[in-house]
Amino acid sequence: MFVTVVLVLTVLVVVLLRANTRPPAYPPGPFALPFVGNVMQILWQTPKVALTRYANTYGGVMSFRVFSQRSVLISDPDLMRTALADPAFSGRIDLILFRARDKIITGQDYDPLGILGTSGEAWKSQRRFTLRTLKDLGLGRQTLEPIMQSELEELIDYFRINEGRKTDIGLTFNRSIVNVIWAIVIGKRFSHSDTRLGQLVDKVNKMLQSFNPFHPALRFRWVKKFFPNLDIIVKTEGYMKEFLYFIEEEMAVHTKETGGGSDTGSYIGAYQQCMQEAATQGKDTPLTMSHLKANILELFLAGSETTSNTLLWGIYLLASNPDIQRKVQEELDQVVGREHTPTLQHIDSLPYTTATIYEVQRMADLIPFSVPHETTENATIGDYNIPKGTCVMFNLSHGLKGSKYWQDPKQFSPQHFLTDDGKVVKPDHFLPFGYGKRVCLGESMARLELFLFLTTLVHKFWWRLSDDDPVMWGKHVIFNRPPDYIVFPTCRRE
Ligand code: HEM
């Protein structure tokens, strides 16, 4: 009996020690359980709460485990910028959901597709092509502005019809933002009453709601092997399939409409043209139909909820802070004029409004820990060694909300981004789009969208929260969504 107890205790100690061994000069962190690591705590408290606690306890660079996977959280903004600019930190962890998507596209376990979930050469080539094409398509300003104006016309009509009525704007912005992406990807837009647009919004929304990178089923391949019928796997893969079929159907319509001829006015057209040119010249190209489908899906996933939710945050924060809303309107009236509509030309002449939009992004703190990276080789950060293959997370939230960096971090105050003489300042720790090698690919597009949508909506309407309907805060895994709320839009008379 005694021997058995000693044996069991010895095994237990060895297992616990093994779960907590660290490479030399590895960042500090909490005690990890065998097999699960720290994942129970993270899932139980929500990633946001657990990782914020870790950062407060262990400092600017700390480590934890998600099952057996070593993970590092960088919170110190200076170190964060250094790491994000270093190619050794530019890999992406294996995002299982995307691998399931790749299998749906190619029918086999193929090399990873797309931009968001790839590393190395595949990532570089798809990212480079997409960035260049979006720029060539004018995302810059000239092409994007009329697309956004068409969306705004429909939005304004919608809010005029609902003037003075209780309005739930939950998915209203998603329609406009998805439509802007659609216009760029395929060169046409849907009317807001078109059921295809409703279906597209619904598919993007469902996909993102079900995505939780801390869930073991969406993190490790073996889970699916042993439990292929797990609800979360079946659901997310189902949404992914539906979404891909939608894209394929619309691509087929596009090919029919363009008669297979060249169309350089859309992302799909430009991509296919480059593929054809390479084929004609007998050159190798990293551009393939499979990557194209994956890229399109990612532009929707990465570009729609992010921008729509920031707009929702904007209206919520302005409706909750009427003094600030009034000051933005005063600046718009003075610079744009009551009889005109804001355009992208006004972007550099509205310091208070610009500071307010930055402040909306700061308060929204939309993707608190960015999208997890992975080291592609042994690396160092500060005094620490980070081995190749470590998952690295970036605590963008710390730079946006930390009391060390802002006068009154819990308060919605555009003054955070203004000097005493009213000029706009953007501090180095303000990184809502990330930074460096993997900085958000749609940053400039999102900035223009946030500017034009928010200025137009606040110039045209006065926004008031309903007193009868309490705002409802939910628990969220990836995005910090604003609460559910009801507003009264009131037209501002010219
Ligand atoms: C307010 C809106 C947005 C915010 C706050 C935002 C934020 C971010 C963040 C934090 C990342 C992760 C960066 C990293 O891995 O280090 C990211 C990546 C990305 N974003 Fe955005 N984003 C926004 C809008 C958009 C839009 C409009 C698009 C395109 C239509 C877009 C496309 C992408 C893509 C493709 C990536 C992956 C880049 C890569 O892995 O190389 N995003 N975004």
pLDDT tens string 26-43: 999 999 898 889 988 888
What pLDDT does 416 receive? 97
What pLDDT does 403 receive? 92
Q: Name the pLDDT band for 494 (thresholds 50, 70, 90).
A: low
Is a pLDDT exceeding 80 seen at residue 214? no
Verify whether ligand 1 is closer than 6 Å to residue 368 (CB atom). Answer: no
Report whether 274 belongs to an annotated binding site. Answer: no
Q: Secondary structure of the chain in the HEC alphabet?
A: CHHHHHHHHHHHHHHHHHHCCCCCCCCCCCCCECCCECHHHHHHHCHHHHHHHHHHHHCCEEEEEECCEEEEEECCHHHHHHHHHCHHHCEECCCHHHHHHHHHHHCCCCCCCCCCCCCHHHHHHHHHHHHHHHHHCCCCCCCHHHHHHHHHHHHHHHHHHCCCCCEECCCHHHHHHHHHHHHHHHCCCCCCCCHHHHHHHHHHHHHHHCCCCCCHHHCCHHHHHHCCCCHHHHHHHHHHHHHHHHHHHHHHHHHHHCCCCCCCCCHHHHHHHHHHHHHHCCCCCCCCHHHHHHHHHHHHHHHHHHHHHHHHHHHHHHHHCHHHHHHHHHHHHHHCCCCCCCCHHHHHCCHHHHHHHHHHHHHHCCCCCCCCEECCCCEEECCEEECCCCEEEECHHHHHHCCCCCCCCCCCCHHHHECCCCCECCCCCCCCCCCHHHCCCCHHHHHHHHHHHHHHHHHHEEEEECCCCCCECCCCCCCCCCCECEEEEEECCC
Contacts of residue 388, defined as CB under 8 A and 6 or more positions apart, other chains included, come to 375, 376, 377, 378, 379
Q: Which comes out higher in pLDDT, residue 109 or 260?
A: 109
Verify whether ligand 1 is closer than 6 Å to residue 433 (CB atom). Answer: yes
Architecture of domain 21-491: Orthogonal Bundle (1.10)
Is a pLDDT exceeding 90 seen at residue 73? yes
Tokens of 410: 């819990």
Task: Classify residue 484 as exposed, middle or buried by CB count within 10 Å of its CB (0-12, 13-18, 19+).
Answer: middle
Question: CA-to-CA distance for 251 and 259, rounded, in angstroms?
Answer: 12
b/e burial code for range 401-427 (CB count within 10 A of at least 16 → b): bbeebbeeeeebbbebbbeeeeebeee
d(CA 371, ligand 1 centre) in Å: 9
Report which ligand 1 atom has the smallest distance to the Cα of 438: 41
| C-alpha triplet 359, 362, 368: angle, nearest 5° | 170
What average pLDDT does this structure show over 45-70? 91
Verify whether ligand 1 is closer than 6 Å to residue 440 (CB atom). Answer: yes
Contacts of residue 398, defined as CB under 8 A and 6 or more positions apart, other chains included, come to 52, 55, 75, 76, 77, 429
What pLDDT does 260 receive? 66
d(CA 432, ligand 1 centre) in Å: 9
The percent of residues above 70 in pLDDT, for the chain, comes to 98
Nearest CA to ligand 1 atom 17: 440
d(CA 275, ligand 1 centre) in Å: 25
Distance of CA 370 to the CA centre of its chain: 7
Verify whether ligand 1 is closer than 6 Å to residue 310 (CB atom). Answer: yes
b/e burial code for range 372-394 (CB count within 10 A of at least 16 → b): bbbbbeebebeebebeeebbbbb
Q: Name the pLDDT band for 97 (thresholds 50, 70, 90).
A: confident
What pLDDT does 110 receive? 74
What average pLDDT does this structure show over 293-305? 93
Q: Name the pLDDT band for 140 (thresholds 50, 70, 90).
A: low
What pLDDT does 236 receive? 85
What pLDDT does 261 receive? 66
Dump pLDDT digits (tens) for 238-286: 888 988 998 999 888 888 888 766 677 889 999 999 999 999 999 999 9
Verify whether ligand 1 is closer than 6 Å to residue 306 (CB atom). Answer: yes
Per the CB < 8 A criterion, the answer to whether 34 and 15 are in contact is: yes
Tokens of 168: 């739930």
Q: Which comes out higher in pLDDT, residue 66 or 203?
A: 66
Verify whether ligand 1 is closer than 6 Å to residue 181 (CB atom). Answer: yes
Is a pLDDT exceeding 80 seen at residue 475? no
What pLDDT does 139 receive? 67
Question: CA-to-CA distance for 62 and 22, rounded, in angstroms?
Answer: 12
What pLDDT does 377 receive? 97
Tally of residues, the chain: 494
d(CA 232, ligand 1 centre) in Å: 24
d(CA 56, ligand 1 centre) in Å: 26
User: CA torsion angle for 157, 158, 160, 161 (degrees, to 10)?
Assistant: 120
d(CA 8, ligand 1 centre) in Å: 49
What pLDDT does 141 receive? 60
Verify whether ligand 1 is closer than 6 Å to residue 314 (CB atom). Answer: no
Is a pLDDT exceeding 80 seen at residue 289? yes
What pLDDT does 17 receive? 74
Q: What is the mean pLDDT of the chain?
A: 90
Verify whether ligand 1 is closer than 6 Å to residue 112 (CB atom). Answer: no
Tokens of 94: 């294996």
What pLDDT does 382 receive? 94
d(CA 367, ligand 1 centre) in Å: 10
d(CA 259, ligand 1 centre) in Å: 33
Q: CB neighbours (10 Å) of residue 183?
A: 23
d(CA 298, ligand 1 centre) in Å: 10
What pLDDT does 231 receive? 86
Per the CB < 8 A criterion, the answer to whether 373 and 394 are in contact is: yes
Tokens of 349: 């002449």
Is a pLDDT exceeding 70 seen at residue 105? yes
* Domain ranges, ordered by start, for the chain: 21-491
36-40, 138-142, 355-359: range with highest mean pLDDT: 355-359
The region of weakest confidence among 161-170, 308-317, 328-337, 435-444 is 161-170
What average pLDDT does this structure show over 396-413? 95
Verify whether ligand 1 is closer than 6 Å to residue 180 (CB atom). Answer: no
Task: Using most ligand atoms within 8 A of CB, pick from 81, 306, 366 the residue to mutate for ligand 1.
Answer: 306
What average pLDDT does this structure show over 407-411? 95
Verify whether ligand 1 is closer than 6 Å to residue 445 (CB atom). Answer: yes
CA atoms in the 13 A half-sphere facing the CB of 62: 21
Nearest CA to ligand 1 atom 6: 433
Dump pLDDT digits (tens) for 315-337: 999 999 999 999 999 999 999 99
Nearest CA to ligand 1 atom 11: 440
The percent of residues above 90 in pLDDT, for the chain, comes to 62
Report which ligand 1 atom has the smallest distance to the Cα of 295: 35
Question: CA-to-CA distance for 38 and 73, rounded, in angstroms?
Answer: 13
Q: Which comes out higher in pLDDT, residue 143 or 425?
A: 425
